[in-house]
Amino acid sequence: MVIRPAGVDEGIVFVRGDLSGNNRIKANVHNVRDTTLATTLGLNGVTVSTVEHLMSAFSGMGVDNAIVEVDAPEVPIMDGSARPFVDLLKDVGTHVQGKGKKLLVIKEKIAVSDGEGTAMFLPSAEFRITYKIEFKHPAIGIQSYEMNFSDVSYEKEICEARTFGFLRDVEYLQAKGLALGGSLKNAVVMDDHRIINKDGLRFPDEFVKHKILDAIGDLSLLGIPIIGHFIACKSGHRLNNLLLKELLIRKECWALLSRFSKEGLLNELTSLRVPSFQVLDSAPATPFAI
């Protein structure tokens, strides 16, 4: 995988370098093709799978525009977290492109449910995340976590949380041709009774923190930073995607404004707290490869 700079308002674009013609896929909610155990983007019959960790790193570090070239139908899994991507973005540097961000501000509740889990947006002065998971497994049980989003909190609290799953899920993915490089080096794996990784967890609530990591990546497919409170219980890629689609339908529940528009920040909007991202390098950005 190689990540290259992109122009203003290009967004995140995946390019399948192993294919010729019709090989570009813009990372947005409309191009989500599958949400089974991972988020898969597709366009014109071409797909790129397991994009959520990289998208999460882009969102966590405030990167809006980038070209991602891959030579296979899946993004490299790395160590199963977003930490390697965050470190590489910090090493190569980012820069301001001279155009202010737009923001989507939640004004009214928007919610979706599948009978088992729920996901919703509520009004808030900042981007907050509250997540609860419940697994009938002795190593997980019930976990919850809440955070106010920023690049600092993302890097400190979330980006190192690894993906997790059960042996039966790994077998299912590999039967579909995915996660072929999956091992105990890039996932927390459990049998029916325990964690089988020799070194255990990175922190006690790694499971719920990884679900937040995934959600940040999934929600970034809206293409616009959200100011609101995201609350999820037993959610996953599918519900995260359905919530974005419901949001696009319910236009009366949100407002779009420019971060630098004085007119847009009058009255009730003056209390908004917009995440500020560190500019990692003032020099022109350069490509880096994995």
Contact 187, 164 (CB under 8 A): yes
- Which residues, listed in sequence order, are joined to residue 141 by a DSSP beta bridge? 135
pTM: 0.89
Tokens of 286: 């350069």
Question: Which pLDDT belongs to residue 99?
Answer: 81
Is the model more confident about 288 or about 166? 166
Is the model more confident about 176 or about 34? 34
Tokens of 133: 């998971």
In the residue annotation, 237 being an active-site residue is answered as yes
Is the model more confident about 152 or about 37? 152
3-state secondary structure of 12: strand
63-77, 99-113, 179-193: least confidently modelled range: 179-193
Q: Output phi, psi for 134, to 5 deg.
A: -150, 115
Which domains, and CATH codes, for the chain?
Answer: 2-275 (3.30.1700.10)
164-199 per-residue burial string, b: 16 or more CB within 10 A, e: under 16: bbeeebbeebeeeebbeebeeebbbbbeeeebebee
Helices then strands, each counted (H, E), the chain: 6, 18
156-170, 189-203, 263-277: least confidently modelled range: 263-277
pLDDT in tens, 218-274: 999 999 999 999 999 999 999 999 999 999 999 999 999 875 444 444 444 556 777
pLDDT of 193 above 50: yes
Is the model more confident about 277 or about 287? 277
3-state secondary structure of 120: strand
Mean pLDDT of the 154-169 span: 91
Question: Which pLDDT belongs to residue 266?
Answer: 41
Q: Output phi, psi for 174, to 5 deg.
A: -70, -30
pLDDT in tens, 113-160: 999 999 999 999 999 999 999 998 888 999 999 999 999 999 999 999
pLDDT of 179 above 90: no
Q: Which residue has the tokens 């993004």?
A: 75
pLDDT of 68 above 50: yes
Question: Which pLDDT belongs to residue 119?
Answer: 98
| Average predicted confidence (pLDDT) for the chain | 89
Mean pLDDT of the 63-68 span: 96
Mean pLDDT of the 74-96 span: 93
Question: Which pLDDT belongs to residue 270?
Answer: 54
- Which residues, listed in sequence order, are joined to residue 45 by a DSSP beta bridge? none
